[in-house]
Chain A
Amino acid sequence: MLGAAIIVFREVLEAALIVGIVLAASAGAPRRGFWVSIGLAGGVVGAVLVALFAAEIAAAAAGIGQELLNAVILLLAVSMLGWHNVWMSRHGRELAATAREVGDAVISGARPLYVLAVVVGLAVLREGSETVLFLYGIAAGGGLGAGSLIAGGTVGLAGGVAVGAALYFGLLRIPTRRLFTVTSWMVLLLAAGMASQAAGYLVQADLLPPLGDAVWDTSAVLTEDSILGKALHTLIGYVSRPEGIQILLYLATLGAIWLLTRLVGRPVRPKTVASLSRGAATPLLVIFLFGALGAGSVGFADELKVRYPIVDYREFEIEHNGVTTFDSPKSGKSNNQFYTVEWGFGPFPNYFVELEHELEAPPGENITYDATSVENYFQLTPTGKYWGDLAFFAEYSQPAHRADAKAFTFGPLAQTQFGEIAGFGLLHTLNLLFTREVGNNSTNATPLFTAWQSRLLINQYIQPGFEYYGMIDDLGAPGKLADQQHRIGPVLVGLQNFAPYGKLKYELGYQFGLTPATERGAIRWRLEYEIPF
């Protein structure tokens, strides 16, 4: 009975600690009980389902279904916790202030409590499914009578819940003013620990390299087998012998959530037009950003092109891109031109670098040199090894005019071949690129540029498809759909091989504007000559 109690306690402990933090982080929010209950109930149902289908899950995805499920659950929880922190950094102060005065009904109406429900549910699901399997094993094996099984399970469950409750009530003793700061830190560490756990699962499944088996070893001091070690493993992601990739993901998650709370979590205050009222500031800001003074890499008639995650190793390339927009003459959006000339080469199998010169002509003006950028492509997965190819893109843009802001643009590039039409395969590419400005006249805005292309692989010469481009000027204040730029349209892609002298690639597309803020039409083209070396 004691053995069963201890094992159940260890499984329940992890989930109970997570629920304790979540409850403390949502202290005072109305309808919180409802959401947490939903999460608990969903988690229990999910746990039983996962236990029932354990064999099928383990066999799925060529034997790595279990690791994939765990990693996906953990990463989903990480993103939920991260989103919670971003939201709290934006609203936490007002929430703490109003909580004592008039109640926080108004603000909390928008509070993403479902996020916490999901985290609770996922924690219960993960730990619960193992508990169910364990108890089932004992029951089926006949090692223990039903009486001691139930007794052991109940003692273990009660013990785990007691520790979670102790954490919760301990946290509640912190004054409201400081509580949200403390819980935000705990949530941050919880998320980082989960990310490193997810990395562990992906290494176990051979989807990620360990980058060093045990980078350090503190198991002489504390192992995860002990109750304290297990609790710290859950709370702050303690691992006595971490793999290199676990450390990397831990730090990356800390950094990413911290960065997002800094970038998105704060209300936007454009430095140069701060004194203007918000209503007037928005259009002025748009003119400021994209007009004659325009910061090179942001928005309006920016480069419309899809970036591919596959690095052309040992290739030198010259590339030209162009965009010209069409709209009614009075709109001020017609004949906006944007051109680039780029030189790039791939010195490593997974690294490609490009130097890009950007030229721009706003409506009715001559073409001027606008900015120079360095673009870096880091291919993260070996080409074709997994269901999709992934790269990380990072660009630094130096404006031609000293009054303009410098800008960093970065984000993932993903590609996968999926589905077919009339026997021809379909290739899909997605880019999500975030921009941050620094230096003179920079703003706190975080623009998000989305590019999506799906094309039919008929032959190398002609591949028709369609593309979508989206531009949200500030992720922190996305505004109305009408104010965002969205466009969609057909594209033709192909190449001519002149081996051994290289190959010529072309792309030609037309984009229809979908919102009032977008030009009605835009032609885009791309010419690229690649020479192997």
Chain B
Amino acid sequence: MHRSALLPLALILAMASGAAAQEPTYTLTIKDHQFQPSEIEIPAGQKIALIVKNNDSTPEEFESTELRREKVVAGGEQITVYIGPLKPGKYEFFGDFNPKTARGHIVAK
């Protein structure tokens, strides 16, 4: 096998193994089927950990089509979702079980 053919693959693998760094954490709270805050600003081009706390007694699903994320948060529990690295822009998210009231967005700058 030619080395030139292997290099792109080696690069991909090198990227894969570099994903272990500690990422900044942001917190989102659900209360009365609403997200607080409804806007979160994060740095673009960096992976972040988003903690979603559900202060309601009923379950909710944190979902974002634009971020391709969905995760159920049981009542009174919390979850962590990893997001990014994102390009600069606005990314909508919503609560899949209460899509009318539970809405918000992430702004990557």
Contact B82 A204 (CB under 8 A): yes
Contact A240 B82 (CB under 8 A): no
* Stretch from A280-288, A371-379, A470-478, A480-488 that touches the partner: A371-379
Q: Which of B20-74 contact A (CB under 8 A)?
A: 20, 33, 47, 49, 56-61, 65-66, 68-69, 71-74
Complex-state Cα separation, A64 to B56, whole angstroms = 21
Contacts of B9 in A (CB 8 A): 351, 378
Contact A211 B12 (CB under 8 A): yes
Q: Is A243 an interface residue (CB 8 A)?
A: yes
**Contacting B97 at CB < 8 Å: which of A7, A210, A211, A242?**
A7
Contact B10 A130 (CB under 8 A): no
Complex-state Cα separation, A224 to B65, whole angstroms = 7
**Contacting A396 at CB < 8 Å: which of B1, B10, B14?**
B1
Chain A nearest Cβ from B108, distance in angstroms: 9
A379-392 CB mask vs B (1 if < 8 Å, else 0) is 11110010000000
Contact A239 B15 (CB under 8 A): no
Interface of B is mostly: loop
Complex-state Cα separation, A219 to B64, whole angstroms = 13
| Known contacts A351-B13, A378-B13; is-contact A130 B58 (Cβ 8 Å) | no
Residue of A nearest to B47 (CB): A206
Contacts of A376 in B (CB 8 A): 1, 6
Interface of A is mostly: mixed
Contact B57 A140 (CB under 8 A): yes
Q: Is A420 an interface residue (CB 8 A)?
A: no
Q: Is A209 an interface residue (CB 8 A)?
A: yes
Contacts of B4 in A (CB 8 A): none
Contact B74 A136 (CB under 8 A): no
Contact B10 A350 (CB under 8 A): yes
Complex-state Cα separation, A133 to B77, whole angstroms = 14
Contact A241 B20 (CB under 8 A): no
Contacts of B69 in A (CB 8 A): 204
Residue of B nearest to A246 (CB): B68
Contact A140 B68 (CB under 8 A): no
Contact B74 A54 (CB under 8 A): yes
Q: Is A434 an interface residue (CB 8 A)?
A: no
Complex-state Cα separation, A348 to B77, whole angstroms = 43
A188-213 CB mask vs B (1 if < 8 Å, else 0) is 00000000000010011110111101
Q: Is A141 an interface residue (CB 8 A)?
A: yes
Write 12 A-B pairs (CB below 8 A) sorted by A numbering.
A55-B74, A55-B76, A58-B73, A58-B77, A130-B96, A133-B61, A138-B58, A204-B69, A219-B65, A219-B66, A241-B68, A349-B17
> What is B's interface to A at a CB cutoff of 8 Å?
1, 6, 9-10, 12-20, 33, 47, 49, 56-61, 65-66, 68-69, 71-77, 79-82, 84-87, 96-100
User: Sorted from nearest, which 9 A-B pairs have the closest CB atoms?
Assistant: A55-B74, A137-B58, A206-B82, A350-B13, A382-B17, A209-B19, A133-B59, A54-B74, A134-B97
